[in-house]
Every structure is written in C-alpha cells, then in structure tokens.
Amino acid sequence: MPKIWKLKPQIPQNVAGDLSELPPLMRQLLHNRGIDDKIVAGNFLNPKYENLHSPFLFKDMQKAVDRIWQAIIAQEKICIYGDYDADAVTANAVLQQAFRYLGAKVDSYIPDRFAEGYGVNLDALEKIKNDGATVIITVDCGTNSADAADFCARNNIDFIITDHHEIIGEPPKAFALINPKNPNDGYPYSEITGVGVAFKLACGILSQVDKVLSRLEPSPPASLPSSFVRLRRTSADRQGEGGRYVAGWEKWLLDLVAIGTVADCHSLIGENRILVKYGLKVLQKTRWTGLGALMFQAGVCKDSPWQPRGILAFDKLPDTYTLGFVIAPRLNAAGRLEHANVALDLLMETDAIKAQEKAANLELINKRRQDLTKTILSEAKEKVMVISDRKVLALVGEGWPKGVMGLVAGKLAEEYYKPVIVLEQTEQLCTGSARTAGEFNLIEALKFSSEHLLKFGGHKQAAGLSLDRSKFELFYQKILEHADLSIGDKNPDKILELEAELDESQLSVATCQMLQQLEPFGVDNIKPKFLISGMKILSSRTVGASGQHSQYQLQKGNRQISAIAFNSAFLEKSFKLGDTVDVAAELIEDNWNGNSNVKLKIVDLK
C-alpha cells in the first residue's frame, strides 16, 4: 500500500526558546513528542529510577502487601495465577523471584491456551483451592473475572488482582484490585503493563524492610548497591537466594520488567521509559541463569549460559529490538505451541546445565512457531483476496492453531493497513485474536458486537475473542457496521510520519549519537525517520540471499552516503542511476574496523 508522507510541523519559535540549550534538531524531536518544557525534557533525556511512582499510589496496594506478608509469616499457601504471553510470564517470574529472595515458597498456575483459554477459569480455581491456597495473586489477568472473585470470596480465598487490561463493566469484587486502568484508582500512569504492575507489587512487598530483615541476614554496609553502577553479579548470589538483605535488590528484576513491557507494545513515554531504560542496563549483567541461557541460544550474548563475571559479553548491546523481536518471541512461542510453563521454568531455572537444555528446547519450539506462522499467513492471504475491499478483515480457518492467530493478524494488519480478526474454527467455536491499524479501537468494536460474543478482552490495539461458530457472520456484520460508523466512507491512508528534514551537514555520526539520547525506542517514541530531499542515485544493487534487499550509494550536495532498503528490492526497478529522489530514512551508525560512519536505512523513496 503506498504511503502518504507527512512531515511534522516545525517547532514554533516561542516554544523553541524554552529548550534553547539543546541543538535545534533535538528541540524539534522533543516537540514532536509533546515535550516543550525544559524540566520535562531533562527527565525524558535523563530518566531517573528515583522518579518512578510509589507503588502505594495504588489504593489497594497496602491492603495487598499486608495480606501477602501475613500469608508469608503464617506459611499460608500462595498461588500466582498468570496468563501465557511474554508480559504475563515475565510478571509471574518477577513475583516468583521476589518470593524466592524472601525464602517464601509459592505455587504458580498458567492455564493451557488450547484447553482452557485466556483468563481466570473456575475449574482451575477449584484445583488451586483443593491444593490448599488461601491467597491467589493474578498477573496480567483477572480484571474482568467477576465470577472468579465471587468464587474466591465464597471459598475464603483472598483474590488479589494485578492487571492492566481495560475494565469491561463493573470491576470484580476482589480482595484487592491493582490496575492502573481502574477508574476508581488514583494511580497517575495508566500505560504500565502486566509485568510493571507485578513489579510494583514486588516493590511494595520488599519495601517492608523490618519484615524483610526478619527473614534475611543484613549485608555488610560496603556491599549495599546504592546505584546501578554498583550492582554487580556474582556466582555466589546470582539467583538472590543467598539469604542476605540487599538494599535496592528489586532492581535486579528490571530486566524481566523491560522484556514484558516491550513485548506488550505499550507506550515508552513516562514510567515505562524508566523501567525499560534501566531494565536494559540490568539485562547486561542479569543474574537469572535461565535468561542468560536464552540469550546465549538466541545469539544475543557470547557467554555460555553462565559465566561468573560482572557483565555478559555482547557483540551489540541489547536494545528494545532485542527485547521485542528476539527474547519476547521465544518466551511467547512456548505458550503458542505447547505450554507457557516451558518459558517460565526456563526463567526460574538456577542450574546452568538444565538452563542450557531448556533454552535449546525453547529455541526449537520458536523455530516451529516461525514455520507455522508462515504457513498460516499464506493460507490467510488467500482468504483476504475475497474480502480485501472491506474495512475490517475477519478470517476463519479450520486447523489454524490459535497460538499463532495474533501473529498472523498483526502481519496482515501491517500489510493491508486495516483491522484484522483471525479465528480458529472448530465444530462449535471460533477463537482467536484481533489486531488494529490506524486509530480503530478494537475494544470499542468488540463491545459494539458483544451480543454475538462469548468472551473478549484486551486493549484498543490488540484483543482476544471467542464466539459460537454459528454467530460468525452476524458478528462480522456488526463489526463492519461499527467500522462504517467509526471510519466512515474512506479507508485510512497509511501515513509515514517524518520528524524533520535533514541537510547534508546533519548526515553525520554526531547526529546519530545525539539520537541515542532518545532511546529506548518503542511505542510513542519510535526511532525518528527523516526526509532527505534531492539525493542523487550514484549506484544500486540487490543484496541478500534471495536478492530481497536493495543497496544504494547516494549523494546530497557534496556528501556521499551508503543506504540500504530491506525487503524492498522492487524499488531498484523503479529508479535508475542518475535519478534525483527524495528519501525517507532512519540514520544508522555503522562501526567497522574501529571506524564509525553514518548510513541510511531507507523506509521509502519518491
């Protein structure tokens, strides 16, 4: 689909003055992100861990923390009930690692995606009750499980919900509801993810220093980590089981928090920016043996699953791409094809040999997931051909594994730039996922058509749903009716937003290094794409195993620069040597043999 280029408006002079100490390009980029205040700009460019909100701004946090400590001290059975995606699995691991640090044993329950589906189900609660649990803590689920809250209340189980999903209808009558989207709560940041909420609960639990010290031996003052610089990984205490109190120990959980936050595609402005920024620092020296083994198997780091050194060895330091496109898909693969416990067990593993074996198994599962996604995507595209003119694409297929429905829907939504619903069809049910494009709000659309649904939930960008097979056509018509009301007569254009126009002096390594201050990149803070106009094509050729990429040598004024366009070999046929083109591109710093140069990653040409 052709892209409509849209150059961001230039920052007004009266606004630019407030950021006068910064370079003009940085002022423009901050303005594009809604940041025009000097103090806000400073906090954005230099996020501080100390600026995280207190967990006790959640109105039910103190109540939940008190009840959990009561259970720990009395050795009551606690069960963590989690969903099966990367956000939930990392949230589960965050709480389990915190309890392990305290020497408190907890159980975990993750429903089977295929047999039980999403959310808290009563059959699972019956099993947990029979196992003797008196406290259940949900992670990344439970917000819309009123029946589960009622079950727990009837059976003298205290049901503590930690979640971040939209509340549909009345909130459940749980012992505690910790959700930034709860309209009855006053937490100041709504975009925190499931793992972020779990981290807040862990921080709340660990903030009770007297109780923590009653279970752990004090450390010598010299060993207390007063900052991230002083955090050091050692073979003796790498899993947090040494029985020693360490002030600020919760920071070791931030690598897990960063993975889950990026995996769930939430805003990287505000509190999430702080969590991910410092999570990436902690990831370089992770103390979780299983996570180290996963990164080694995925080629992220060069260490074997455990080397007792301060920082892991990387060819390239991990960034949000590493989190979202390397680590998270592997964690998700377990729940998509087998069971999410495969991923959780790896994250909790303390033995290096077992961790290596589990990581290798997860790598194989991920490869199967990739192959399966390609197959189903090809079948789905054939079905799209029949309905490609509709505002929303809804597809059903028999034998389509529901574990990859979200992946397929996401790829189709990106390619066709339309909301997409992909469902597995069985004898009685249709179950699957939805992904949006543009401003189309999936939750509002599903609410509009809820009379035909058995169950649904999620966010405005991504959702899950199930319905009777016989209701599919009625449901689809209702969704299209909502699309007519919300989208109108015209399908949305695919907009390519460009942050600023660069001149030849700005095509430099210095500009690349300045842009690094905006990291970590992600939702609401995407890596800047720029307009470079009037570039002359000096040379071009296809590269890649199947010639799928195009490589160019371009000239802007007196400046020559290399450029690459990934998966866009068709562009080479559209232009010839000597043509003058406008380029939409990202800037890349290319380091080779100790030399640094700037390259362009081409997004589009005109």
Tens of pLDDT along 514-561? Answer: 999 999 999 999 999 999 999 999 998 888 888 888 899 999 999 999
- Write down the pLDDT at residue 175: 98
Residue 416 C-beta-side C-alpha neighbours within 13 Å: 26
Q: Give residue-wise pLDDT tens across range 131-146.
A: 999 999 999 999 999 9
The amino acid sitting at 566 is F
Better pLDDT: 121 or 574: 121
Q: What is the 3-state secondary structure (H, E, C) of 343-364?
A: HHHHHHCCCHHHHHHHHHHHHH
* Residue 113 banded pLDDT, cuts 50, 70, 90: confident
> What is the C-alpha to C-alpha distance for residues 303 and 289, in angstroms, rounded to an integer?
11
Q: How many CB atoms lie within 10 A of CB 13?
A: 7
- Contact present, 327 and 295 (Cβ < 8 Å): yes
- Write down the pLDDT at residue 296: 93
Q: How many CB atoms lie within 10 A of CB 7?
A: 14
- Write down the pLDDT at residue 306: 53
Q: How many CB atoms lie within 10 A of CB 121?
A: 18
Mean pLDDT of 588-606: 87
List of residues 6+ apart from 221 with CB closer than 8 A: none
* Length of the chain counted residue by residue: 606
Average pLDDT, the chain: 91
- Indicate the pTM of the whole model: 0.89
Q: Is the pLDDT of residue 495 over 90?
A: no
Mean pLDDT of 478-489: 88
* Residue 312 banded pLDDT, cuts 50, 70, 90: confident
Mean pLDDT of 120-139: 97
Mean pLDDT of 224-237: 44
Locus of tokens 């915190």: 98
Q: Is the pLDDT of residue 208 over 50?
A: yes
Domains of the chain, CATH where assigned? 7-42 (no CATH), 55-362 (3.90.1640.30), 388-494 (3.10.310.30)
Q: Is the pLDDT of residue 298 over 80?
A: yes
Q: Is the pLDDT of residue 595 over 90?
A: no
Q: CA dist 438 to 130, 170, 374, Å?
A: 47, 29, 24
Burial class (CB in 10 A: 0-12, 13-18, 19+), 491: middle
Which segments of 402-499 are extended strands (E)? Answer: 420-425, 429-435, 455-458, 462-468, 494-498
Q: How far is CA 137 from the centre of its chain?
A: 22
- Write down the pLDDT at residue 302: 79
Q: Is the pLDDT of residue 219 over 80?
A: no
* Residue 604 banded pLDDT, cuts 50, 70, 90: very high
Q: Give residue-wise pLDDT tens across range 37-79.
A: 999 999 999 999 999 999 999 999 999 999 999 999 999 999 9
- Write down the pLDDT at residue 295: 95
